[in-house]
Amino acid sequence: MSWRKLNRWIHRELGFLFFGMTIIYGISGIALNHSVARHWNPGLITKATSIQYPGTLQKADVDRATIEKILELTGEKENYKQYYFPNEDHLMIYLKGGHITVDLPTGSMQLTKIRNRPVFQELNYLHYNKPKKLWTWFSDLYALGLVLIAISGLFLIKGRKGITGRGGILTIIGILIPLALLIVYLWL
């Protein structure tokens, strides 16, 4: 078998084998990028609703009956956990799957429901290597496979469109972009 044939074989077989892993790391990579940049939280879905308490409240007046009334108004009686006062003007009622924040002087309440974001939560679980154990080894194998796929990809085509032609220029551009951004953000 010539080295070019072997190269194509490596690229094709590893490409098939690690298709699923590339999708997992690609999608969760975008999610984590934006999580770090604080654009959104890929692991959680948060929904906030504003509700008005009839009247105003004072910390000293809040008792179990007040809590019951708030839970009834928000329809969260079944989900009640505990409450506490973050400060003199606010009451926080914890629920299974969220919380209610009450602004005591105005009586304005915010019901926040929090739930896990399907798919992304699972993908991030894998991307962050939370399972450890076997996943560490399989993802290491994938990373090694990705390096081999990249290197073998350089030599798939001969001639004008290959590494000695347009392919080479694109490869250099792909190396220079992260290098330039690294210089700008880290060293300048």
Partner 1 sequence: MQRSILWVLIAFLAVSCNQTVNKEGDNQEASKTEQIISATIVELLAAPADYQDKEVAVSGMVTHVCKHGGQKCFIVADDGETQIRIVPGGDIDEFKVEMEGSTIAFKGTFRVQTAVLAEEQLEDYESKEHHEEEQSHSSAEKAEYFLEAVDFKEVTQ
64: contact with partner 1 by CB under 8 A: no
Size of the site for partner 1 (CB under 8 A): 29
- In whole angstroms, the minimum distance from the beta carbon of 124 to partner 1 comes to 9
Q: How far is CA 57 from CA 50, 65, 105, in A?
A: 17, 13, 6
Member of 1, 65, 78, 87 binding partner 1 (CB under 8 A):
87
β-strand partners of 49 = 111
Member of 62, 89, 99, 101 binding partner 1 (CB under 8 A):
99
Closer Cβ to partner 1, 28 or 167, answer by number: 28
Q: Which of 48, 46, 52, 70 is nearest to 109 (CA)?
A: 52
Question: Chain-centre distance of CA 182, in angstroms?
Answer: 23
Closer Cβ to partner 1, 138 or 163, answer by number: 138
Question: Which DSSP category does 161 fall into?
Answer: G
133: contact with partner 1 by CB under 8 A: yes
**Rounded to the nearest 10 degrees, how much is the dihedral formed by the CA atoms of 129, 134, 139, 144?**
140
Q: At 121, which helix (H) or strand (E)?
A: helix 120-127
Please, which of residues 4-43 interact with partner 1 by CB under 8 A? 13, 17, 35-36, 38, 41, 43
List residues binding partner 1 (CB under 8 A). Answer: 13, 17, 35-36, 38, 41, 43-44, 81-82, 84-87, 92, 94-97, 99, 114, 128, 130, 133-134, 136-138, 141
